[in-house]
Chain A
Amino acid sequence: MSDIKQARESLVRRILEGEGKASPSDRRAAFNNHGLDEPLGTLADKVATRAYSVSNEDIAAVRAASLSEDEIFEIAVCAAIGQATRQYEIALAALDACSTATRKE
């Protein structure tokens, strides 16, 4: 059995609480896909929900808002990991619910 629990928790702690160029509040907002000012909010939402549609214009828009490339890098990483985390946790909860229901039967 592979077990990513510890490694995944370390990853999330690093990107949200460790040193970074983007503020911790912006990194957490990107992770949650909620609460970022524009145009960063649009970029984070596209990363989370339709990354295939991110365009050069999306990146140009956040650059024009005086964000550095390091900040954009961190925000995109947080948005991607946040969405994957929500998917993962929803699926594990559904699996747990099956096990609980089986035990009750």
Chain B
Amino acid sequence: MRLRILDSGHSFGTKALFALIQAASRQPVLDVIKLVKYRSDFYGEPMGKVTQEAMRGPSAWSVADRELMAAFVSKTNQSEFCTKAHSAVAQRAYGDGKAVSALLSDVDTAAIEEPLRATLIMLRKLTRESTVDTDDMRAVLAAGATRQQIEDALAVCFSFNVIGRLADTFGFSVPGPEAFESGAKYLLARGYR
């Protein structure tokens, strides 16, 4: 972590919470938790409300689909921490039905439903080029996604275009798969609040 305040500048109570998390999960506290718990009234709490609604609010997209979008936006942003973290959540949410790493590697030909594929392709362009136009949106609608599904996907994209940037800016440590598995269990059980 590049800023010492994010690593160890928390209040006594928050440090005690970290000790509990570490003891219960037997894994190091992920840097993303340290970020959202630092002066949480500035970023962690208001951002948590946005992300909770985007990722767990009512939507025609499943939780697994939205976690896949989060991983895909993160991969497009070259954010290793967020790609691994949300690949683990998506994989757990899908179960054995889909191989998330294969999906992320080749969305254009992967065995997924057309509305989801078209949505991911649009999100990739938006994330990479910071722009999309009506033709891009018409392609997603023509593939069978509803306007509301597109709005819901853009909400996911917003959240992860924030979080991935901060993960890379602050230099989040990338732990081993066990820590991400532990985080995935937590995010599926408790969400982003």
| A and B: interacting chains | yes
- Residues of chain A whose beta carbon lies under 8 Å from any beta carbon of chain B: 1-4, 7-8, 10-11, 14-15, 18, 20, 46-49, 51-52, 54, 56, 59, 69-70, 72-74, 76-77, 79-81, 83-88, 90-92, 94-95, 97-99, 101
Interchain nearest-CB distance for B31 vs A (Å) = 13
Q: Chain A contact residues: over half helix, strand or loop, or mixed?
A: helix
Inter-subunit contact B170/A11 (CB<8 Å):
no
Distance between Cα atoms of A11 and B4 in the complex (Å): 24
Inter-subunit contact B164/A51 (CB<8 Å):
yes
Q: Let me know if B130 is at the binding interface, CB within 8 A.
A: yes
CB within 8 A of A3: which of B5, B57, B157, B165? B57
Chain B residues within an 8 Å CB radius of A70: 5, 39
Interchain nearest-CB distance for B122 vs A (Å) = 8
Using a CB-CB cutoff of 8 Å, which residues 39-79 of chain B contact chain A?
39, 41-43, 46-47, 49-50, 53-54, 57-60, 77-79
A-B contact pairs, 10 of them (CB 8 A): A2-B155, A8-B158, A11-B47, A59-B3, A76-B165, A76-B169, A80-B166, A80-B169, A87-B126, A101-B134
Distance between Cα atoms of A76 and B42 in the complex (Å): 12
Inter-subunit contact B161/A84 (CB<8 Å):
yes
Inter-subunit contact B42/A15 (CB<8 Å):
yes
A74 closest partner in B (C-beta): B42
Inter-subunit contact B50/A8 (CB<8 Å):
yes
Inter-subunit contact B126/A91 (CB<8 Å):
yes
> Lowest 5 A-B CB distances belong to which pairs?
A2-B57, A84-B161, A80-B165, A51-B165, A11-B46
Q: Chain B contact residues: over half helix, strand or loop, or mixed?
A: helix
Inter-subunit contact B50/A87 (CB<8 Å):
no
Distance between Cα atoms of A2 and B49 in the complex (Å): 12
Inter-subunit contact B59/A2 (CB<8 Å):
yes
Q: A80-B169, A98-B141 are in contact. Are A91 and B147 (CB under 8 A)?
A: no
Distance between Cα atoms of A77 and B160 in the complex (Å): 13
